[in-house]
Amino acid sequence: MRILLLDKNHPLITEQLLTKNFILEEDFTSSYDEVCSKIQNYEGVIIRSRIPLDKNFLEKAKNLKFIARVGAGMENIDIPVAEKLGIRLINSPEGNRDSVAEHVIGMLLILMNRLFIASQEVKNGIWLREENRGDELLGKTVGLIGYGNMGKATAKRFSGFGCKVIFYDILPGLSDEFATQVTLEELKKSADILSLHIPLTETTHYLIDAAFISEMRKDFYFVNTARGKNVETKSLVEALQEGKIKGACLDVLEYEKPSFENLETENEDLKYLLESEKVVVTPHIAGWTHQSKEKLAQVIVDKIVLSFSE
């Protein structure tokens, strides 16, 4: 089986697949059109986010048996077309769920305890104690939207901080020892902290908008380590300015390039997020630890070998 690798990943992917007699070719620089012109020569593709696998691409991939996405999100793949063509879709959310969960907690601790702000002040000779009084996680109700790999790992961490964890998911019967499944209405009524753990789809695009925010009964902290376009930034900024959202932790932004490598838009809403003391922003790295890089790759290899090794 010939496999085309379109993004750089952990070398164990190449090392292990070669021992299973797969034929591998790396191409980290060709354009979309250049890849389209040769994709018919491969039975498998391993990607991150560099090139969109849209309808045009997939229809040219006459011999493609699988697409393996090193990561969780699959929005750069035209899933209905791939399924119609019988192409198996593989991803590896198991590989970075712990990284994401720790990042959520870390961002909230920084925000709620003003850790970065206080540290910078002291380094600049400013010693303020009352102004930097923190807010504890203990006793808070955390509402998660989405209870897959990321949501479950995050719930486990929050439970260790003495939080009550509730979640909403479109699939039923997912409650466990760390969190209780509730309706979306109940989550909006009870949550002190709202954290997203959902894919980007037509139904989750701009899920968090002005209407959603207004339906939250309490003023709340907001965390997004999912996808930037799950949130309408304009509404987020307005809620921060009004105090409805007490603070936001954002690892993803609406204005990211499709490859997640940088921002493609600058405007006043983005400027506010980058300048506000109520916002902690990181560059789409929640799932980006040394350990997760290896685990993501290993999960992908294991799934490919299980499905296609002779």
Is residue 80 classed exposed, middle or buried when 0-12, 13-18 and 19+ CB atoms within 10 A define those classes? exposed
Question: Does residue 293 sit in helix, strand or coil?
Answer: helix
Question: Does residue 189 sit in helix, strand or coil?
Answer: helix
Catalytic residue among 157, 227, 232, 254: 227
254 catalytic, yes or no? Answer: no
Please count the CA atoms within 13 angstroms of the CA of 4 that sit on its side-chain side. Answer: 22
Local structure of residue 119 (DSSP, 8 states): H
48 catalytic, yes or no? Answer: no
Nearest residue to 178 via CA among 205, 154, 145, 202? 154
Of the chain, the end-to-end C-alpha distance in Å amounts to 10
The Cα 231–Cα 271 span in angstroms is 16
97 catalytic, yes or no? Answer: no
Sheet with 245-250: strands ordered across: 180-181, 164-168, 141-145, 193-196, 220-224, 245-250, 279-281
Catalytic residue among 256, 264, 277, 290: 256
Catalytic residue among 284, 290, 294, 310: 284
Any idea which residues carry the catalytic annotation?
227, 256, 284
